[in-house]
């Protein structure tokens, strides 16, 4: 059995540090993410899984040590933590128990004595739900004031209408897979420090079904699905928070073998605003006023998301005073109320003109202030 070179998969040296391993992994998963290879998604998915598998081993010191020594890693690490146990326990630790495939020890004996391995090998032919599609919707802060409609265009896989998802040309049949001879599984010997074992896994040629397409569908070329350009009008409710996630069911990639379609997952990104800081439904901002207005009071211009409004402040307003504009903030997500705007007042003191200086000196004299 050919051993996978995890170092080659991640394109790193055996002496690579944990940071270098992580950096290489992040670069490759971004490059090979299936959503970036719509036309060759099957190839990308296999490569993506291979990268994940390599990182899972090389990022774990215990698994990396085993891999460097034996060329592969038991899923449970060292069997039973190094303690003595039953022979079945050793096999279970070595091949990984607790999965959908059942007891791997029994599967090994099925290989030799003709057990029920065939049914478990074809689990991949069961109905499978389609993959989800993720998209980001960018909003300005003012967009959150009211319900807003956004047009979204994206590509997704849909079940081929010509072959109904079978991948076979109409009027043609399937034939027995020549690699696994219809069994749906491949049996290979694997050597380890325990001895020689037979490992069973789904046939990659037929995908574990035991049959292959005799004549491919002309429309989808045997894939059972085609790429569709989707256009949707999405209504985003008022008051939505940054980071909120919406799910549109049935608008992801098509399912397999009659499985339901995946979902479209929408991630909301509310862009930062240069005037306001959001605190839930409330907004915070700052306004600078001159010292005369602060001393005598008067009308000032205050920003809101819907334009400036005029507010009156009291005489003798100190720097740092906060005024509250009721119901001028954002709506709550449930729409029951609207938040407020809190305005912090900063007082700006300019260098006085000659006329202003004369007035200020008279004021200082009246207040008995020495200057």
Binding-site positions read 160, 163, 177, 180, 203, 206, 217, 220
Point out which residues pair with 283 in neighbouring strands: 278, 341
Residues belonging to the binding site for Zn(2+) are 160, 163, 177, 180, 203, 206, 217, 220
Task: Name the nearest CA neighbour of 262 among 275, 248, 273, 272.
Answer: 248
How long is the chain? Answer: 371
The distance in angstroms from the start CA to the end CA of the chain is: 94
Strands (E), 292-340: 298-302, 309-313, 322-325
Instruction: Answer yes or no: are the C-beta atoms of 5 and 51 closer than 8 Å.
Output: no
Element (H, E) at 228: strand 225-236
Burial class for 148, CB neighbours closer than 10 Å (0-12, 13-18, 19+): middle
What lies within 8 Å, CB to CB, of 80 at 6+ separation is 89, 90, 93
Separation of alpha carbons 283 and 278, rounded Å: 5
Point out which residues pair with 184 in neighbouring strands: none
What separation in angstroms does the CA of 312 have from each of 67, 177, 196, 300, 309? 74, 83, 87, 6, 10
Question: Checking DSSP bridges between strand 322-325 and strand 341-348, what pairing results, if any?
Answer: antiparallel
What lies within 8 Å, CB to CB, of 346 at 6+ separation is 286, 287, 288, 289, 319, 320
Instruction: Answer yes or no: are the C-beta atoms of 16 and 24 closer than 8 Å.
Output: yes
């Amino acid at each position: 059995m050919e051993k996978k070179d995890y170092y080659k998969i991640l394109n790193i040296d055996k002496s690579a540090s944990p940071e270098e391993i992580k950096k290489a992994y992040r670069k490759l998963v971004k490059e090979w993410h299936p959503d970036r290879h719509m036309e060759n998604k099957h190839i990308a998915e296999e490569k993506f899984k291979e990268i994940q598998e390599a990182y899972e081993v090389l990022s774990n010191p215990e698994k990396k040590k085993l891999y460097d020594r034996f060329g592969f890693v038991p899923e449970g690490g060292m069997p039973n933590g190094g303690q003595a146990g039953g022979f079945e326990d050793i096999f279970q630790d070595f091949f990984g128990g607790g999965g959908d495939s059942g007891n791997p020890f029994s599967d090994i004996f099925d290989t030799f004595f003709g057990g029920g391995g065939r049914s478990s090998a074809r689990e991949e032919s069961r109905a499978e739900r389609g993959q989800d599609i993720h998209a980001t919707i960018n909003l300005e802060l003012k967009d959150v004031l009211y319900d807003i409609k956004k047009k979204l265009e994206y590509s997704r896989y849909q079940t081929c209408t010509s072959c109904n998802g079978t991948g076979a040309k109409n009027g043609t049949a399937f034939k027995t897979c020549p690699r696994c001879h219809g069994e749906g599984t491949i049996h290979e010997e694997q050597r380890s420090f325990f001895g020689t074992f037979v490992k069973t896994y789904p046939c990659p040629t037929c995908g574990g079904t035991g049959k292959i397409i005799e004549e491919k569908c002309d429309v989808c070329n045997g894939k059972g699905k085609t790429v569709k350009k989707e256009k949707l009008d999405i209504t985003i409710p008022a008051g939505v928070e940054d980071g909120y996630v919406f799910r549109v069911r049935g608008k992801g990639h098509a399912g397999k073998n009659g499985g339901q379609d995946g979902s479209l997952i929408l991630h909301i990104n509310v862009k930062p605003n240069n005037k306001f800081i959001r605190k839930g439904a409330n907004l915070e901002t700052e306004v600078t006023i001159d010292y005369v207005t602060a001393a005598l009071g008067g009308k000032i211009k205050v920003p809101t998301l819907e334009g400036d409004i005029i507010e009156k402040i009291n005489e003798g307003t100190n720097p740092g005073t906060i005024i509250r504009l009721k119901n001028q903030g954002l709506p709550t997500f449930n729409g029951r109320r609207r938040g407020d705007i809190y305005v912090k007042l900063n007082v700006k003191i300019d260098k006085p003109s000659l006329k202003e200086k004369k007035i200020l000196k008279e004021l200082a004299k009246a207040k008995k202030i020495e200057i």
